[in-house]
């Protein structure tokens, strides 16, 4: 008699090739409408499934976990970050949590570099001029931006993505600086010609561009607070492709409005999908709808990692991408 397939509930639509493979391997319940599950639907999934595959839009907190059924043993997150999941409570309840690290590194770094280029060079403003039919021809003093060659880039969070951004920025002639919980190996610093700052405050005050690449945790909530944003130079730019909660968005808007910061490039927002209307109205920012990792290749790679984590776990082994509370 064949072994019973585990019931896997997927909360959002995934690439067809990923969903097809899941159907081959598991008893899979898909979300064909691709809309976020309601709280009641998410709780129902937690009650009935052996495995739940959530995304960043699913808030699996202690209240949801308290209603998990006895069969739920694995939450295989479709995403690199796990700030949408109460990992500590899950661990205490004997539920394993996994994620999909590594596969989004290059895609997110590409988008970060696009913002690092796009904000100082006023690319979004230029597009609007063409779209609105307002271009009257070339002028030597019109739409002047700033070059990034020779500028200092301060990276907050020197993990995989931070290092990938550093490699790109170095190729564009930027000087690399970084702040991280732990100093990276000397060989990495040497290859990137990177300067380490143990004081985030001191680094922020000296950078021309600051790029955020740390996860959202209780320790990094509003890491760039009103006080720290005021430390930045008035001609500096801020880029965020990590998590919106890392920046005090209201304080950022004030800094921009009052001319204490030159501009910002944001792919994530503190209260997304809601975007503050003041950011939308500002001509000092480039805004993207959380698309830093949105490539076909990246999404398929994420799905393959989810499948490997589920298959390994169900075969009785430790999944390769298990997340423990001590890792947060």
Closest CA to 224 of 214, 267, 161: 214
Cα(first)–Cα(last) distance of the chain, in Å? 42
Q: Omega of the bond prior to 324 within 30 degrees of 0, cis? A: no
* Active-site choice (29, 177, 228, 243): 243
* Active-site choice (27, 125, 189, 272): 272
Neighbour tally for 21: CB within 10 Å? 18
227 is catalytic: no
* Active-site choice (93, 183, 254, 290): 290
168 is catalytic: no
Cross-strand bridge partners of residue 9 = 29, 52
206 is catalytic: no
Cβ atoms of 224 and 205 closer than 8 Å:
no
Which secondary-structure segment (H or E) carries 23? helix 16-25
Residues 6 or more apart from 287 whose CB is under 8 A from it? 266, 275, 279, 280
Residues 6 or more apart from 71 whose CB is under 8 A from it? 7, 48, 49, 50
Q: CA-CA distance, 104 to 241, in Å (whole number)?
A: 12
Q: Which residues are catalytic?
A: 243, 272, 290
């Amino acid at each position: 008699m064949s072994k019973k397939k585990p019931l896997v509930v997927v909360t959002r639509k995934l690439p067809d090739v990923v969903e097809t493979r899941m159907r081959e391997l598991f008893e899979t319940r898909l979300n064909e409408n691709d809309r976020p599950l309601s709280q009641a639907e998410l709780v129902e999934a937690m009650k009935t499934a052996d495995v739940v595959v959530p995304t960043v839009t699913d808030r699996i907190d202690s209240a949801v976990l308290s209603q998990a059924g006895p069969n739920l043993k694995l939450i295989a997150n479709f995403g690199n970050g796990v700030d949408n999941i109460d990992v500590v409570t899950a661990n205490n309840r004997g539920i394993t949590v996994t994620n999909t690290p590594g596969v989004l590194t290059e895609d997110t770094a590409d988008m970060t570099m696009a913002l690092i280029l796009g904000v100082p060079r006023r690319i979004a403003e230029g597009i609007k001029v063409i779209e609105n039919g307002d271009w009257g021809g070339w002028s030597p003093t019109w739409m002047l931006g700033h070059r990034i060659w020779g500028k200092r880039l301060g990276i907050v969070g020197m993990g995989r993505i931070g290092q990938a951004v550093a490699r790109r920025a170095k190729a564009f002639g930027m000087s690399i600086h970084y702040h991280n919980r732990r100093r990276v190996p000397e060989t990495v610093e040497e290859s990137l010609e990177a300067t380490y700052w143990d004081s985030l405050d001191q680094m922020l005050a000296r950078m021309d561009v600051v790029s955020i690449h740390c996860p959202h945790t209780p320790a990094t909530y509003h890491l760039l607070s009103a006080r720290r944003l005021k430390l930045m130079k008035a001609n500096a730019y801020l880029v965020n492709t990590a998590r919106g909660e890392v920046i005090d968005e209201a304080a950022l808007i004030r800094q921009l409005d009052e001319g204490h910061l030159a501009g910002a490039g944001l792919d994530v927002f503190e209260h997304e999908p809601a975007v503050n209307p003041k950011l939308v109205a500002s001509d000092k920012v480039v805004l993207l709808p959380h698309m830093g990792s949105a490539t076909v290749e990246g999404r398929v790679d994420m799905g393959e990692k989810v499948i490997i984590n589920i298959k390994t776990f169900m075969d009785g082994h430790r999944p390769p991408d298990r997340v423990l509370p001590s890792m947060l």
